[in-house]
A and B are shown apart, each in its own frame.
Chain A
Amino acid sequence: MNNVFVYLEIEGTTVADVSLELLTKGRKLANQLGCQLEAVAAGSNLAGIEKQVLPYGVDKLHVFDAPGLFPYTSLPHSSVLINLFKEEKPQICLMGATVIGRDLGPRVSSALTSGLTADCTSLGIGDHEDKKEGKVYKDLLYQIRPAFGGNIVATIINPEHRPQMATVREGVMKKEILDAGYKGEVIKHDVAKYVPETDYVVKVIERHVEKAKHNLKGAPIVIAGGYGMGSRENFDMLFELAKELHAEVGASRAAVDAGYADHDRQIGQTGVTVRPKLYIACGISGQIQHIAGMQESGIIISVNNDENAPINAIADYVINGPVEEVIPKMIKYYKQNSK
């Protein structure tokens, strides 16, 4: 009872990275709180799924295995969590800020009247004193996220309601196997007891999932362009540089909005989080949402006309000059010196 729960997102029979990252974070939170870590797997043909899950330090894995639970649809998965949580009364529930997590989380929070914070960039445990009510709350989940277009960072708490729910984007937390031989309990539930037949009302007629076209998340070098690239043509220079450096190309939200780059290349709070050893920011001013997605990069180079661009404050090297001149020079001198 009152444990930390993680909802596992499962594509086919593979647990998503974001869920494994949350298990790692959930394990740490459970240790801090002195409670157990539990996980929920709902899908089809899940025999052996525990092998992917328990090594992250999961004490209890709840398995809901039925034909109608994959592909994901809203109602059956909501019923699984709502009815399980009514029995188990978790204190914390984490899920990925993915399409599924953002479809499922709000429904569950609405049914349980519990608070949900979307797209957290950090989670912690701490106390809260409500001076007006004269109450002190111990060991609350601090749900930290940029707000208001990223101009502020807010710490959100749910003093009275449980579970305290939060979604976190893929790549924000780090996944780490705790112990390959970790011993956890696997509980196979009777799905029909949790999900009424009437929940299976949405039919997936056609489904098409592609492997990502690029490996932005895992790339050791990322070259990212912002609105300051000025045009799609200028932006395309970044691909030339990337080809030379064996790097991947990312973009700020402003560059995506301007049509310079595809949406799946967006780096930041509402895009991908990256941790490359080298990050080259070109024409990016550095709004907090963007910085939230790349601040843990090893070396940061900022190429910008504006010497006061906020990103320069976290850069190791600032090249103060026009991107359309500097990028070709970088290509040229890399070619000359790398041989």
Chain B
Amino acid sequence: MSLKIVVLAKQVPDTRNVGKDAMKADGTINRAALPAIFNPEDLNALEQALRLKDAHPGSTVTILTMGPGRAAEIIREGLYRGADNGYLLTDRAFAGADTLATSYALATTIKKIGECDIIIGGRQAIDGDTAQVGPQVAEKLGLTQVTYAEEILTVDKAGRKIVVKRHIDGGVETVEAPLPIVITVNGSAAPCRPRNAKLVQKYKRALGAQEKAAIAKDGAELAYADLYEKYPYLNITEWSVADVEGDLVQCGLSGSPTKVKTIQNISFQAKESKTLTGSDKDVEDLIVELLANHTIG
């Protein structure tokens, strides 16, 4: 029996590979210096969704992401790996959203997309590490949730049940929960399958409206413009606040209860440290000193 699955995915700066030029002289973040990537745990979530699609023929996997025009890249990446379609939620009104305003926007969009069985995303995004958006989306949709999922074991669509193995502190548990449901997937779950060459061929020219506009703005002409009329799947759907009938007050900065008061660059209280070499004498002297003052031994 087929399932309708929505994958929540986010384009994030790759904070794991922060180089020396990541911070500007004034202490703000130089976003341009950080490559934008598919949030790693969202890829684990995509894999779980694609496995369900494999096991339940006729299922659809829809990618939902929120971000600027260039975040259409996330949808293309999902299409390359086997997703069926995607929505890019993009509007200036979403800017400055904390997790609560983000979950409002996503939940409103999921209602607009319509009935679905499983909403699945990564446990957390590496640019914030909060793990809040999944449960907040669930609460806003009035659904239950399974967080820290390791593997979806079975889905019984007729019986409206799903069985999931998940992590808990110091162990694992297996839970049975009702559909529809929100699931967040842990980074230790199965890695995402690679891009499929045929799908890359099929979708490599898929573009969002803002991406097309950016090409036109540069004075260039959109290559193979006629393809976009002939193959509607090459047009990545972009939705604004108005398209999803969102309440502006609950979006972006105004919908965010948390405010950033101050941001500080990291500076440590430097200690007076003793520098040694790796020579036998230096290492032995240190060990003898630590033994003498009972730090070790």
Contact = CB atoms under 8 A, between A and B. Distances in A.
Contacts of B129: 118-119, 269-270
B271 A204 contact: no
B119 to A, nearest CB: 14
A74 interface: yes
A143 B98 CA distance: 14
Contact of B170 (A73, A147, A210): A210
Contact of B174 (A100, A204, A288, A312): A204
A231 interface: no
B277 A118 contact: no
A125 B152 CA distance: 43
Interface stretch (A54-62, A175-183, A188-196, A321-329): A321-329
Contacts of B256: 115
B16 A322 contact: no
A103 B149 CA distance: 12
Contacts of B270: 313-314
B271 A315 contact: yes
Contacts of B127: 148-149
A199 to B, nearest CB: 8
B168 A128 contact: no
B291 A337 contact: yes
B176 interface: yes
A208 to B, nearest CB: 5
Q: Which of B29, B163, B276 has the most CB of A within 10 A?
A: B276
Contacts of B59: none
A205 B165 CA distance: 10
A201 B145 CA distance: 10
A49 B95 CA distance: 46
B258 A314 contact: no
B262 A155 contact: yes
A148 B29 contact: yes
B198 interface: no
A151 B22 contact: yes
Interface string A42-81: 0000000000000000000000000000010111001000
A50 B27 CA distance: 48
Dominant secondary structure at the A interface = mixed
Given A160-B257, A161-B257, A337-B284, A320 B278 contact: yes
Interface residues of B, number: 79
B29 A151 contact: yes
Nearest to A75: B144
A211 B170 CA distance: 7
Contacts of B23: 151
A205 B154 CA distance: 13
A151 B18 contact: yes
A67 to B, nearest CB: 17
Interface in B253-297: 256-266, 268-271, 273-280, 282-284, 286-288, 290-291, 295-297
B167 interface: yes
A157 B132 contact: no
B177 interface: yes
Contacts of A315: 271, 273
Contact of A277 (B98, B273, B295): B295
A206 interface: yes
B126 to A, nearest CB: 7
Contacts of A334: 287, 291, 296-297
A205 B280 contact: no
B178 interface: yes
Given A74-B145, A318-B273, A333-B283, A154 B260 contact: yes
Interface in A276-315: 277-278, 287-288, 291, 295, 298-301, 303, 307, 310, 312-315
A313 B268 contact: yes
Contacts of A158: 257-259
Interface string A265-277: 0000110000001
B139 interface: yes
B263 A102 contact: no
Given A113-B257, A201-B144, A310-B268, A209 B170 contact: yes
A330 B287 contact: yes
B295 A278 contact: yes
A153 B264 contact: yes
Contacts of B261: 128, 142, 154-157
A325 B136 CA distance: 50
Given A113-B100, A325-B278, 18 more contacts: A74-B138, A113-B257, A115-B257, A149-B127, A151-B15, A151-B22, A154-B262, A154-B264, A207-B173, A208-B173, A210-B171, A245-B297, A263-B188, A317-B274, A322-B278, A326-B283, A329-B283, A337-B284
List 7 A-B pairs, minimum CB-CB distance, nearest first: A321-B278, A149-B15, A115-B257, A115-B258, A209-B171, A106-B135, A161-B257
25 contacts: A74-B138, A99-B148, A103-B147, A109-B132, A109-B257, A110-B100, A110-B135, A115-B98, A118-B129, A119-B129, A151-B265, A153-B263, A157-B258, A202-B146, A202-B177, A202-B178, A206-B174, A291-B268, A301-B286, A317-B274, A320-B275, A326-B278, A330-B283, A333-B287, A337-B287
